[in-house]
Amino acid sequence: MSSSRGTVAAGHPRTAEVGAAVLREGGTAADAVVAAALASWVCEPLLTGPAAGGHLLAVPATGDAVAIDAFCSVPGRDAPAGAGDPLDALVPVQVDFGGAHQTFHAGVASVAAFGLMDGLERLHRRWGRLPLADLAAPAAAMAREGVALNEQQAFVAVLLEGILGLTPESRALWFPEGRVLREGEVFLDPELGDTIERLGREGAAPLRDGDLAAACADWCAQRGGTLTRADQAAYRAVERPPIALPYRDREILTVPPPSAGGVLLALALGRLEAAGRGAGVGQDATARGEHGGRVPPSAAALVAAMADADAERTAAFEEGLVRDGFADELLALRLGSTTHVSVIDADGLSCALTATNGEGSGVVVPGTGIHLNNVMGEEDLNPRLRPGGRGLDPFAPGRRMPSMMAPTAVRAPGGRVEAILGSAGSNRIRSALLQTVVGLVDHGRGPVDAVDAPRVHLEDGVVYAEPGVDPACAAAGGQTLVEFRERNLFFGGVQLVCRDPETGALSAAADPRRGGAVATA
């Protein structure tokens, strides 16, 4: 789908359409991202919501790009003394992706301090044009009227049935007939609609130091959780310069630490770039073609780059993420569940948001419609949940968790944004983005082909591959290969908007793995 005006790629058709409607009304890409994000709380309620965290990237046509860190932080400020280890109170739930299993942890002990709304408000304050209340209105109306689950959201509900059934409040929303909602059945949450409408009027304040924050913290504290009112009152989204990395003849912009995903993506791209510079000396991954062009990296080369990046994710890496200058230091030395919205508007502002509620904690706060996150219960994010990690000292309250989110922009020669993208998918985010960028830049694919191409992912010595990936990609590194029978949401959900550097025409693609959609203004 193409447009010369504004274009939105998002994780749900109605999410995308809400964003595109804002562009038609004269809003900016920032307005569209905010409206689409609020709509996603209703259309994709198992992936995001008022208690979610996220990372945003804004690249104006002129001026500096900005990354906004609105991800979750460790709870426990002013918590009562003598509480036990919160890991003991986590509720493990195993999720079967139909080719891979992953254990998530839920319950009140899994809830982290959150501030996505603070990040959205900051984006809107800098680049928005329409009133915040107008941007919230469509989402509030949908929550009150209800949204029918599409195939992908119904599948997610089945995957997360064990979490959704943990509390009476969650069961009331998701098991109205005594079983989890199915495709075509309506998710209805009028209390969430009231919350969204209020946030449109008042901004993030009610979730920071107002009564909504108090309701969330008190509900958790009364049930053994560690989230406190002080955690929410202290939370602020943080604006930072993005990482800027040369790749081929492009520049890649992505989010900096304390997000882990941007650094790991940059490391993998840097490995591929270095391999390309060394071509002609026996390396077949990015060898030069007949006319000096590069043959795109093979699946084996991609897996090797993933392995190199994965090898950096040590305890020292986790600690370094909170240190100023860590990204520059690491890249110089080494290079030598979720949803996403991407938007480019007619004025050239490019904005992207990746947001997540984790898988949700199963804890819904009465009177608010807020399903709290389970970020502290994700093994991908919390090192203490990994094998052998329980003996590690817990992160201090207030520390940002090391998200894998990495909204990313590709700048063409001359500096104009050629693509803006991001992905859902927990630990698979960086591999999905790596392969999409390689598809765009190295293969010269259009957005649809770049997103649709079969993917591979390396984790814990296992190579997971979709149909169409060369099985030999696992052989060189001696890894175990797990082949999926069909494309699967396990491999992420990339939402991509592209701008032709010569004509300025916009085109986009949304990931069919997660029911994504594109809408134009």
* E strand intervals along 375-505: 408-411, 417-424, 456-459, 462-465, 480-483, 493-499
Distance CA(7)–CA(326), nearest Å, equals 35
The two tokens of residue 43 are 């259309």
Contact 433, 269 (CB under 8 A): no
CA-to-CA distance for 447 and 4, rounded, in angstroms? 15
Cβ–Cβ under 8 Å, residues 425 and 493: yes
Instruction: Report yes or no: 476 and 299 within 8 Å, Cβ to Cβ.
Output: no
For residue 10, give the nearest of 348, 421, 373, 411 by alpha carbon.
Answer: 421
In sign, the C-alpha dihedral spanning 488, 492, 495, 500 is negative
**Are 371 and 45 in contact, with CB atoms under 8 Å apart?**
yes
Instruction: Find tokens 């817990």 and name the residue.
Output: 394
Round to whole Å and give the CA distance between 234 and 112: 13
**Is there a contact between 320 and 330 (Cβ–Cβ < 8 Å)?**
yes
Name residue 498's beta-bridge partners. Answer: 419, 507
**48 closest CA partner among 428, 397, 375:** 375
Q: Quote the CA–CA distance of 19 and 149 in Å, as a whole number.
A: 19
Residue 165 to residue 375: CA distance in whole angstroms: 18
Please tell me whether residue 465 adopts helix, strand or coil conformation: strand
In contact, 381 and 388? CB cutoff 8 Å: no
Q: 211 φ, ψ to 5°?
A: -70, -30
Residues in the chain: 521
Name the strand (E) or helix (H) holding 245: strand 243-247
CA 420 – CA 45 distance, rounded (Å): 24
Question: Positive or negative, the Cα torsion across 40, 184, 424, 449?
Answer: negative
| Catalytic sites, residue numbers | 338
Rounded Cα–Cα distance for residues 196 and 194 (Å): 6
Calculate the dihedral angle through the C-alpha atoms of 262, 264, 266, 271, rounding to the nearest 10 degrees.
-170
Q: What is the dihedral of CA 70, 73, 77, 83, to 10 degrees?
A: 150
Instruction: Return d(Cα 300, Cα 471) in angstroms, integer.
Output: 9
> Cis before residue 258, ω within 30 degrees of 0?
yes
